[in-house]
Amino acid sequence: KLGFGVVAFACTTCNGMSGALDPVIQKEVVERDLYATAVLSGNRNFDGRIHPYAKQAFLASPPLVVAYAIAGTIRFDIEKDALGLDQDGKPVTLKDIWPSDEEIDAIVASSVKPEQYRKVYGPMFALTVDNGERVSPLYDWRPMTTYIRRPPYWEGALAGARPLKDMRPLAVLGDNITTDHLSPSNAIMADSAAGEYLAKMGLPEEDFNSYATHRGDHLTAQRATFANPTLKNEMVTENGKVKAGSLARVEPEGKVMRMWEAIETYMERKQPLIVIAGADYGQGSSRDWAAKGVRLAGVEAIVAEGFERIHRTNLVGMGVLPLEFKRGVNRLTLAIDGTETFDVVGERMPRSDLTLVIKRRNGEQVEVPVTCRLDTAEEVSIYEAGGVLQRFAQDFLESEKAA
């Protein structure tokens, strides 16, 4: 028998809210390291987006999604192989069940009516006058919420200096790191750092929701930083191969632990951090938390072979310095293994050359020219202020004084 689940109409395939897998199935996928896949008619197919344990996702038309669901595997010739047998034992192929345009038009005509839209959207835009009780324009922050919490962007560590000295790598990454690797938005798993935090806050697992829905609470959202189970941090290896997972190696001890525990460890030490990456860093969705998360973790700079345009802008907006290796230079040619500490030296000007000082564990010191990816004078100003929010606050206070 085929098993199909019905989920609420919401951010299903786009945001990975298709619902939890059957626990028995999930246990098999994890323990046997099965190559589970998803086929969807949505618009997102990044690693782990549809479900943390779906290693790959394929985009298809709605009828093909149904066909692959019936087939139960993507190792299926959709044009030739049989989906099953009919009542007479004859094979049924896709062309036998594919609806005609006339059948589709008839279903739409019988099911979609203008009054359905008028009923919903008419009252939405109807003008009403409310002369009721006036309320305070200031939000009443609630200490125990997990959805909207007073943000920390003007205080604490974020209000401090960013000396760009003695930074330790939080992660050494390869090419094509997406914002889903940096800060996934899909469903929160019970065994994740965010899931454990929500459980401590008294939420039952069925109410965990997604990372995206908790973006207004930094204590939940920052636990999504590098929380993608398909992440490959080259600082973490097993039997000579990079081990996938939300993992980090805390230095100088060399101890491997979950990424969030590593971030907490470095926070307690007030250790400034850096991320080293390959080409096309930050591609995918323009997710603000992909920049917020690393900044709250204590990352002061990211050095990559190249940046996706919107994510680079978001890093600047959060006061994280984007630096670009010169052509032909990268983490591999420099033999970066994560045991080093890093300084950034030089005057920050639009696309100026700065020096990345690599201090190796054996005492060797290497100076590498890098390009400052603050591309305009305005971006330099925003970065030096600490980020776009700090810059806005400064401008606002100055205008108040002038008035």
Helix (H), strand (E) at residue 341: strand 341-345
Q: Please check whether residues 359 and 270 belong to one and the same domain.
A: yes
Residue 16 in this model has a pLDDT that exceeds 80: no
Q: What pLDDT shows up at residue 223?
A: 96
As a whole number, the mean pLDDT across the chain is: 91
Tell me, yes or no, whether 145 lies in a domain. no
What CATH number is given to the structural domain containing 70? 3.30.499.10
Q: Please check whether residues 42 and 102 belong to one and the same domain.
A: yes
Assign 269 to helix, strand or coil.
helix
| C-alpha 317: how far from chain center | 17
Q: Say which residue, 84 or 272, is predicted with more confidence.
A: 272
Residue 1 in this model has a pLDDT that exceeds 70: no
Q: Please check whether residues 54 and 114 belong to one and the same domain.
A: yes
Q: What pLDDT shows up at residue 30?
A: 85
Residue 127 in this model has a pLDDT that exceeds 80: no
Q: What pLDDT shows up at residue 9?
A: 65
Q: What pLDDT shows up at residue 172?
A: 98
Task: From 122, 147, 171, give the residue that closes a domain.
Answer: 122
What CATH number is given to the structural domain containing 391? 3.20.19.10
Q: Please check whether residues 280 and 388 belong to one and the same domain.
A: yes
Tell me, yes or no, whether 137 lies in a domain. no
pLDDT digits (tens, 9 = 90+) for 28-64: 998 998 888 889 888 778 777 788 788 888 999 888 9
Q: Say which residue, 72 or 323, is predicted with more confidence.
A: 323
Tell me, yes or no, whether 133 lies in a domain. no
Tell me, yes or no, whether 91 lies in a domain. yes
Place of tokens 């000082």: 357
Residue 126 in this model has a pLDDT that exceeds 70: yes
Lowest-confidence pick of 4-18, 112-126, 137-151: 4-18
Q: Please check whether residues 165 and 23 belong to one and the same domain.
A: no
pTM as predicted: 0.83
Residue 10 in this model has a pLDDT that exceeds 70: no
Q: Please check whether residues 165 and 278 belong to one and the same domain.
A: yes
Instruction: List own/partner pairs for 364-371 with CB under 8 A and 24 or more apart.
Output: 366/334, 368/325, 368/326, 368/329, 368/334, 369/326, 370/303, 370/323, 370/324, 370/325, 370/326, 370/344, 371/323, 371/324, 371/325, 371/326
Residue 194 in this model has a pLDDT that exceeds 90: yes
pLDDT digits (tens, 9 = 90+) for 297-345: 999 999 999 999 999 999 999 999 999 999 999 999 999 999 999 999 9
The tally of CA atoms less than 13 A away on the side-chain side of residue 162 is 22
Q: Please check whether residues 51 and 104 belong to one and the same domain.
A: yes
pLDDT digits (tens, 9 = 90+) for 312-322: 999 999 999 99
Q: Please check whether residues 167 and 83 belong to one and the same domain.
A: no
How many structural domains does the chain have? 2
Q: Please check whether residues 329 and 377 belong to one and the same domain.
A: yes
Assign 303 to helix, strand or coil.
strand
Name the range with the highest mean pLDDT among 22-31, 54-63, 357-366: 357-366
Tell me, yes or no, whether 24 lies in a domain. yes
Give residue 364's domain range: 160-183+225-402
Q: Please check whether residues 117 and 165 belong to one and the same domain.
A: no
Alpha-carbon distance values, 201 to 152, 194, 196, 221 (Å): 19, 10, 9, 14
Tell me, yes or no, whether 326 lies in a domain. yes
Helix (H), strand (E) at residue 322: strand 321-325
Q: What pLDDT shows up at residue 13?
A: 66
Q: How confident is the model at residue 157 (pLDDT cuts 50, 70, 90)?
A: low
Q: What pLDDT shows up at residue 78?
A: 87
pLDDT digits (tens, 9 = 90+) for 216-242: 999 999 999 999 988 999 999 999 999
Tell me, yes or no, whether 101 lies in a domain. yes
Q: What pLDDT shows up at residue 307?
A: 97
Q: What pLDDT shows up at residue 368?
A: 98
- Closest C-alpha among 9, 2, 13 to residue 59: 13
Q: Please check whether residues 363 and 257 belong to one and the same domain.
A: yes
Q: How confident is the model at residue 23 (pLDDT cuts 50, 70, 90)?
A: confident
Q: Say which residue, 172 or 26, is predicted with more confidence.
A: 172
Tell me, yes or no, whether 343 lies in a domain. yes
**pLDDT above 70: percentage of residues in the chain:** 97
Q: How confident is the model at residue 148 (pLDDT cuts 50, 70, 90)?
A: very high
Residue 80 in this model has a pLDDT that exceeds 70: yes
